[in-house]
Amino acid sequence: MPQEPGQGQEGQAERPERPGFGQQPTTPEPRPYERVITKDARTKQGIFTIHEVKDKWYYEIPKTELNKDFLWVTQLEKSAGGIDRSGYRSTVVRWERVKNRILLREMDYGIVAAPDKPIARGVAGINNGAILMSFPVAAWGKDEAAVIDVTRLLTVDSIAEISAKNMIRQGTIDATRTYIERISTFPTNIETVTTFTYSTPIPSATATGGGGPQFPGAATGARPGSNSFVVHYSMIKLPEKPMKPRFFDDRVGFFTTRFTDYGTDEQRVHESEYIARWRLEKKDAAAAVSEPVKPIVYYVDPATPKEWVPYVMKGVEDWQPAFEAAGFKHAIIAKQAPSPEQDPDWSAEDARYSVIKWLPSTTENAQGPHIADPRSGETLNAPISVWHNILNLQRTWYFLQAGPLDARAQKLPLPVDLMGKLIEFVVAHEVGHTLGLQHNMLASSMYPFDKIRDKQWLHTMGHTPSIMDYSRFNYVAQPEDKIPVDDLIPRIGPYDVFAIKWGYTPIDSAKSAGDEKPTLDKWSREQDSKPWLRFSTPKGNSDPGDETEAVGDQDAVAATTLGVKNLERVSKMLIGATAHENGEDYDDLDGMYGRMLGQWSLEMGHVAHVVGGVYAHNKHIGQEGVIFTPVPADYQKRAVQFLIANAFHTPSFMIDPNLLRRIEPVGAINRVGNAEHRVLQSLLAPDKLARMQEALAIDHANGYAPLEFLGDVRKGVWTEVEGFEKVSVDPYRRNLQRAYLDILNEALNRPPAAPPVVPAGFRIYTPPTTADTEAWYRGELKTLNEEVGNAIGRAADPETKFHLEDVKDRIAKILDPKFAPPSAPAATTGGRRGFDDDWNNPTSCWPDYVIKP
């Protein structure tokens, strides 16, 4: 079996002194204690004794704390130039003694082997941790406690493993304006606050094109010139006895700590993963439901607007029933942060405290990361970030998706009680991430479609089984359904309760993590009879039910039919809802109209994803049936015909002149064209053709032939050129048809993009392709060229005639291999699995072509 936590690091617990090490002439000898820690010293007692002597800071490290694991966490407490301060970095370190020197060494638990295995010696040989800094012992304290000067460690910011510089992206530190503000020591941790001042040259007018300095802002670093940042270092002792870990099962979506285990009996290198979870232990081990020895506690940032504090706290404690199902009462608690009078040493950056931070930013986002013990997956800290402008995103989504169903949302701004419920929803989602749960985008497609409008079902089950889905508000329900407004918002669902039970219920009979596997497998199989307990199977975005921003996508055609009905109702509400008071401009109307088009594209995109889709039901050995099943051909064809009728003929509600002439003199044609372009591009994606071809080759009787599909799309986009009637193509259709040509041109002629820069731990996902795609696209263009040529003489107006002639010219250039568009830009990086959240991207947490394994 794979090793248990804390093993595989033999050879590092006690390092023998090496002859000659530390004997350089420049190494000072320790001095008498009283000459280093003078009577002027200001001293604090804790896990290390801390001394401040004039402008120097000393750690007095007890011998008993050497060779112990500490988690070092670096965060920004205050930033400059608009830089976001939600990030952090963490690593495991040890303090070690070699003669009269103390070494700060980084520990790596990514490669392990059980200590009783012979290969453990080899693992130790390739697992030597880096020395981050070496310190001469300034003096010896009582019981051989080493006194070292740590001033440089905490002010140079040049040690990559613990530096904040990757978050700041700044220039050179000015030592004269950099200093340690304070160090606080506690029984298990040390908290340090340092002010760093960086200097970056200000570009000259010539360097900026004569227009003066250009300030890049938070996206690339703070402004040129001087910037001061406050960096918070937490060093917290890891548990002497690591938590018993729980092995990951890809049928249940948890974040993980991954490692390579060379100590198994398998005839291969074994990659193992522990799930991320908090340590919960029952006070009463015999009780079915017991309070925990130590509950999970989240503190609310004092910077949170007062009106939202109760809703933030409610978003935390909404998870209590899920933990009761796992056997724990009052396992998760929200508290308001203590005031300085109540606790002068309390800090939101203290790694002992998990804080929901409310951050001033125009970013429409929230994040729920976690910091874990790499030995076991135990979550130690969860610094949740909520950016202030999440308010705008939530009020916009709710208005567009639920406005026709909730009278409170038909006039902006939303009332406080409604906005509070939306904040509760956001916080509950982010807390779910910090409890270990990944996104589960499959959830929205697991309920029978008719239940999405069933009042009783919605009240009991919600419209999605998981709050970890990107299934926002119930845009499928219709006004006549009279759904209570509280049931339009997602909440902790049956999948969430199932996942918490699976991850947190104690298995007392199991002595090791490996012993738990049969029980965990049994629990996972409950998904066979209850589809709404299933988790996404990430396989390149091929499952049309594994969808972001979707409601009721078990039948995306039916869901989008109803969703568009609601959008038409929304379009009639836009002017009145955004007319806040006399004298204001129409900026809000402009923004809402653009987002309405985005919502329309999203819902149409759900239908496009049906084509070439493959349903996935994750199974392990011993479960009957296959994992992957192609979407039935008749459903795919229904989806294509729906898009032809509804996406490729511009809906009248999107081009209301009474609305458009309030926001711009020109632009509606391009706005609508861009929305339709996105849908068409999704529909014609080459990976769909590859899956359709393979499905047809394996089961010829039930597949949707790629050439039949391409012909259906061509006929739908170019309906006007068929037959013998007069031809008239309006401006919206002309834009759509040019988009069709652009998409095929890009597929045939664009040079390959430069490979993306992929972060450590991520890999590039390459969409499937078929060698026949190019031939099919060329065949479609040749057929279209002939049809357009026949239609030119039937043009009913000059605009149509010139358009069709231009189309023939474009086709000729596309088919000429010398014609090619510019090189594609390098892909951005990211990954669904392993990253905690991104509320702002309306289509995906991260691009699907870069995923974390």
- Of 229-243, 740-754, 822-836, least confident by mean pLDDT is 822-836
The C-alpha atoms of residue 298 and residue 644 are separated, in whole angstroms, by 50
Q: What percent of the chain has pLDDT over 70?
A: 84
Mean pLDDT of 411-435: 97
Same domain, 283 and 189: no
| Helix-strand-coil split of the chain, %, nearest 5 | 35, 20, 45
Distance separating alpha carbons of residues 501 and 510, to the nearest angstrom: 16
CA 789, CA 575: separation in Å to the nearest integer?
44
pLDDT band at residue 821 under the 50/70/90 scheme: low
Q: Which of 472, 506, 540 is the C-terminal boundary of a domain?
A: 506
| Least confident among 174-188, 361-375, 599-613, 825-839 | 825-839
Q: Are strands 628-630 and 614-616 parallel, antiparallel or unpaired?
A: antiparallel
Contacts of 801 (CB under 8 A, 6+ apart): 792, 795
- Quick one: which of 475, 471, 578 has its CA closest to 532? 471
For residue 545, being part of any structural domain is answered with no
54/172 same-domain check:
yes
pLDDT confidence tier of residue 569, bands split at 50, 70 and 90: very high
DSSP lists the bridge partners of residue 800 as none
The whole-number pLDDT of residue 82 equals 65
Same domain, 232 and 139: yes
732 occurs within a structural domain = no
Instruction: Verify that 233 and 350 share a domain, yes or no.
Output: no
Boundary residue ending a domain (506, 538, 558): 506
Query: DSSP labels for 434-491?
Result: HTTBPP-TTGGGSS-GGGGG-HHHHHHH-SSS-TTSS--S--SS-GGG---GGGGS--
Residues 440, 326 share a domain: yes
* pLDDT recorded at residue 751: 78
The CATH number that applies at residue 351 is 3.40.390.10
Query: For position 267, what pLDDT does the model report?
Result: 61
Phi, psi of 628 (to 5 degrees): -115, 130
pLDDT at 735: 96
Banded pLDDT at 11 (limits 50, 70, 90): very low
Are 334 and 298 in contact by the 8 Å Cβ rule? The answer is yes
Q: pLDDT band for position 765 (50/70/90)?
A: low
Q: Which of 533, 571, 553, 360 is nearest to 472 (CA)?
A: 553
pLDDT band for 562, please (50, 70, 90 cuts). very high
In this structure, the answer to whether residues 153 and 294 fall within a common structural domain is no
Instruction: Look at residue 113 in the predicted model and tell me its pLDDT.
Output: 64
What pLDDT score was predicted for residue 841?
A: 38
Q: Specify the 3-state DSSP secondary structure of 804.
A: helix
State the DSSP H helix or E strand holding residue 112, giving kind and residue range, or none if neither: strand 111-112
Q: How far apart are CA 33 and CA 17, in angstroms?
A: 24
Do residues 222 and 298 both lie within one domain? no
Q: Please give the residue range of the domain that contains residue 51.
A: 33-205+216-237
Helices and strands (H, E) in the chain, number of each type: 20, 27
Query: CA-CA distance, 109 to 92, in Å (whole number)?
Result: 9
Neighbouring CB atoms inside 10 A of 270's CB total 16
C-alpha closest to that of 656 among 671, 648, 668? 668
Planar angle of CA 296, 535, 704, nearest 5 degrees: 160
Over range 306-314, report the average pLDDT: 98
Same domain, 230 and 289: no
Beta-carbon contacts of residue 806 (< 8 Å; ≥ 6 apart): none
Residue 497 near residue 325 (C-beta atoms within 8 A) = yes
pLDDT of residue 838: 43
User: Three-state secondary structure along 359-404?
Assistant: ECCCCCCEECCCEECCCCCEEEECCEEEECCHHHHHHHHHHHHHHH
- State the average pLDDT over residues 424-451: 97
Q: How confident is the model at residue 844 (pLDDT cuts 50, 70, 90)?
A: very low
Dihedral angle of Cα 270, 108, 382, 360, to the nearest 10 degrees: -120
Question: 228 and 338: one domain?
Answer: no
d(CA 75, CA 194): 11
Stretch 118-143: mean pLDDT:
83
Bridge partners of residue 229, in order along the sequence: 196
CA angle 290, 293, 295 (to 5 degrees): 90
The whole-angstrom separation of Cα 209 and Cα 206 is: 5
* Gap between the Cα atoms of 20 and 55, Å rounded: 32
Provide the pLDDT for residue 88: 77
Mean pLDDT of the chain: 87
One-letter amino acid at 549 equals: E
Per-residue pLDDT reduced to its tens digit, 39-95: 999 999 999 999 999 999 999 999 999 999 999 999 888 877 666 666 678 899 999
Alpha-carbon gap, residue 92 to 259, rounded angstroms: 15
- Position 16 scores a pLDDT of 42
pLDDT of residue 828: 38
**Does residue 543 sit in helix, strand or coil?**
coil
- pLDDT greater than 60 at residue 760: no
pLDDT the model gives residue 420: 98
Question: Does residue 173 share a domain with residue 65?
Answer: yes
**C-alpha 203: how far from chain center:** 35
Q: What is the pTM of this model?
A: 0.87
Q: Residue 767: what pLDDT? A: 73
Cα separations (Å) of 219 from 83, 84, 168, 580?
8, 9, 10, 32
If DSSP codes are grouped into helix, strand and coil, which group holds residue 832?
coil
**Terminal CA-CA length for the chain:** 22
Confidence class of residue 203 from pLDDT cuts 50, 70 and 90?
A: low
Do residues 145 and 200 share a domain? yes
Q: Helix (H, G, I), strand (E, B), or coil: what is residue 192?
A: strand
The C-alpha angle 298, 304, 310, rounded to 5 degrees, equals 65
847, 774 in Cβ contact below 8 A? no
E-state strands within 252-346: 256-261, 270-275, 296-300, 332-336
Peptide bond into 19 cis (omega under 30): no
Confidence at residue 109, expressed as pLDDT on a 0 to 100 scale: 85
Three-state SS letters, 734-790? HHHHHHHHHHHHHHHHCCCCCCCCCCCCCEECCCCCCCCHHHHHHHHHHHHHHHHHH
Give the Cα separation of 150 and 132 in Å (integer): 12
- DSSP lists the bridge partners of residue 572 as none
Q: Is position 142 within any domain? A: yes
Residue 440 lies in a domain: yes
Q: Minimal CA–CA distance to 314: which of 470, 428, 473, 415?
A: 428
| Tokens of residue 795, six digits | 């043009």
Return the H-helix or E-strand segment holding 52: strand 49-53
Is the residue at 330 inside a domain?
Answer: yes
| DSSP state for residue 306 in the 8-state scheme | G
Q: What is the mean pLDDT of residues 642-649?
A: 96
Provide the pLDDT for residue 20.
43
- Beta-ladder partners of 44: 50
Q: Are residues 172 and 290 in the same domain?
A: no
Give a yes or no: residue 630 inside a domain.
no
Helix (H, G, I), strand (E, B) or coil at 836: coil
Q: Give the mean pLDDT of 775-803.
A: 96
Tokens coding 295 = 């509950």
On whether the CB atoms of residues 521 and 457 are closer than 8 A, the answer is no
Q: Is the pLDDT of residue 851 over 70?
A: no
Domains held by the chain: number: 2
Establish if 606 belongs to a structural domain. no
Q: Which residues have C-beta within 8 Å of that of residue 26, sequence separation ≥ 6?
A: none
Q: How confident is the model at residue 10, as a pLDDT?
A: 39
Question: In percent, how much of the chain has pLDDT > 90?
Answer: 70
Q: Is 476 within 8 Å of 559 (Cβ atoms)? A: yes
Work out the average pLDDT over 550-576: 97
pLDDT at position 216 over 60: no
Please, which pLDDT band fits residue 202 given cuts at 50, 70 and 90?
Answer: low
Helix (H) or strand (E) holding 677: helix 668-683
Residue 620 lies in a domain: no
Of 506, 541, 557, the one marking the end of a domain is 506
DSSP reduced 3-state for 261? strand
Contact call for residues 444 and 469 (beta carbons, < 8 A)? yes
> Containing H/E element for 380?
strand 379-381
Say which residue, 119 or 424, is predicted with more confidence: 424
